[in-house]
């Protein structure tokens, strides 16, 4: 009985290796090579990507078509913020002269607020973004001052009224159905009390992707697929790596059993993560 099981496992294991070898040859586009921008900026790699890269290569697109004026898009399809210096310092130094001039000229403009507004959170928990910021309510109705005494600094244009949400506010967010919540960058140590004049288009945005650094140390490649972070292996000609790319989703205990039977397959890269999940299901069922 045991020898039959062993034989079946052996056949399966070899099928997997064969299939995987095919897979890695056929789909080199899965890989994100990274792009050199300039000596100042460095390489564009996860969590950043270049405009031509497939979406799985990163979260924030960096345009280096003018290496002296690199730009980063914090929200898909959103504003391109001009930045200075190295991408991984670990903060990006956003210094957007155009936006700063627009903010100075008209501090209560919908377009300026839209362009200033930060992503409410990073699209994936493995990458975090942070910078000093202020929460504003963008309302298409004027709120009654008497019922909303906490909202004492505001500005108004023809379409919207913006209110500063105070930090200790007990108000719901947003406070009224006609309001949306946005976050905008402010000076690191603004004069108190905070007013709308503390908004800035020059700020340091910390971008941390610790899991990805660990992944790279293991020679993995960081990807984001269908909204999920993934550490995929990238070295060619290595059986373990091909296994990772070729397999679908299997339970770790079955995988360990397989490895136990065939020790020549070696160790998996991420045994602690529980389940192993791979870019492309092979259709094999265990």
Ligand X SMILES: *[C@@H]1O[C@H](CO)[C@@H](O)[C@H](O)[C@H]1NC(C)=O
Binding site for ligand X (CB under 6 A): 34, 36, 42-43, 118, 129-131, 133, 140, 152-153, 164, 166, 177-178, 180, 183, 193-194, 274-275
Distance between CA 22 and CA 91 in Å, rounded?
40
In angstroms, give the least distance from the CB of 205 to ligand X: 7
In angstroms, give the least distance from the CB of 8 to ligand X: 23
Determine phi and psi for 273, rounding to 5 degrees: -75, 5
Q: Which is nearer to ligand X, 17 or 194 (CB)?
A: 194
Residues 137, 142, 148, 152: what is their CA dihedral angle, to the nearest 10 degrees? 70
Q: What angle do CA 59, 214, 21 make, to 5 degrees?
A: 80
Distance between CA 240 and CA 223 in Å, rounded?
18
Q: Are 79 and 115 in contact (CB under 8 A)?
A: yes
Q: Which is nearer to ligand X, 65 or 275 (CB)?
A: 275
In angstroms, give the least distance from the CB of 244 to ligand X: 16
Q: Which is nearer to ligand X, 21 or 56 (CB)?
A: 56
Q: Which is nearer to ligand X, 214 or 275 (CB)?
A: 275
Q: Which is nearer to ligand X, 36 or 286 (CB)?
A: 36
In terms of C-beta density within 10 A (0-12 exposed, 13-18 middle, 19 or more buried), how is residue 17 classed? middle
Give, in order, the Cα–Cα distances in Å from 75 to each of 71, 79, 132, 212, 235: 12, 7, 18, 20, 31
Cα atoms in the 13 Å half-sphere on the side-chain side of 119: 22
In angstroms, give the least distance from the CB of 161 to ligand X: 11
DSSP string computed for 150-161: T---EEE-SS-E
Q: Which is nearer to ligand X, 39 or 68 (CB)?
A: 39
In angstroms, give the least distance from the CB of 136 to ligand X: 11
Q: Which residues are bridge partners to 91 per DSSP? A: 206
In angstroms, give the least distance from the CB of 74 to ligand X: 8
In angstroms, give the least distance from the CB of 166 to ligand X: 4
Q: Give the residue nearest to ligand X (CB).
A: 274
Which of these, 238, 239, 228, lies nearest to 275 by C-alpha position?
228
Q: Which is nearer to ligand X, 55 or 190 (CB)?
A: 190
């Amino acid at each position: 009985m045991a020898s039959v099981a062993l034989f079946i496992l052996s056949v399966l294991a070899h099928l997997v290796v064969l299939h995987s070898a095919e897979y890695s040859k056929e789909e080199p586009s899965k890989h994100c090579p990274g792009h050199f921008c300039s000596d100042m900026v460095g390489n564009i790699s996860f969590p950043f990507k270049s405009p031509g890269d497939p979406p799985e290569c990163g979260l924030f697109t960096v345009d280096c078509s003018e290496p002296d004026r690199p730009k980063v898009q914090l929200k898909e399809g959103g504003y391109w913020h001009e930045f200075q210096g190295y991408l991984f310092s670990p903060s990006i130094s956003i210094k957007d002269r155009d936006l700063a001039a627009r903010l100075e000229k008209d501090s209560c403009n919908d377009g300026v607020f839209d362009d200033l507004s930060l992503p409410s959170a990073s699209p994936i928990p493995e990458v975090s973004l942070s910078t000093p910021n202020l929460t504003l309510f963008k309302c298409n109705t004027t709120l009654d001052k008497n019922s909303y005494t906490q909202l004492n600094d505001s500005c108004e244009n023809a379409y919207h009224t913006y209110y500063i949400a105070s930090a200790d506010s007990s108000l719901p967010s947003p406070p009224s159905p006609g309001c949306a919540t946005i976050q905008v960058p402010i000076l690191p140590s603004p004069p108190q009390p905070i007013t709308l004049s503390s908004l800035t288009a020059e700020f340091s945005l910390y971008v941390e992707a610790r899991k990805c650094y660990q992944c790279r140390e293991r020679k993995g490649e960081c990807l984001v697929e269908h909204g999920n972070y993934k550490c995929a292996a990238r070295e060619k000609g290595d059986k373990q790596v091909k296994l990772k790319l070729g397999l679908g989703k299997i339970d770790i205990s079955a995988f360990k059993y397989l490895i136990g039977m065939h020790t020549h397959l070696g160790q998996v890269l991420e045994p602690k993560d529980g389940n192993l999940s791979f870019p492309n299901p092979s259709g094999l069922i265990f």
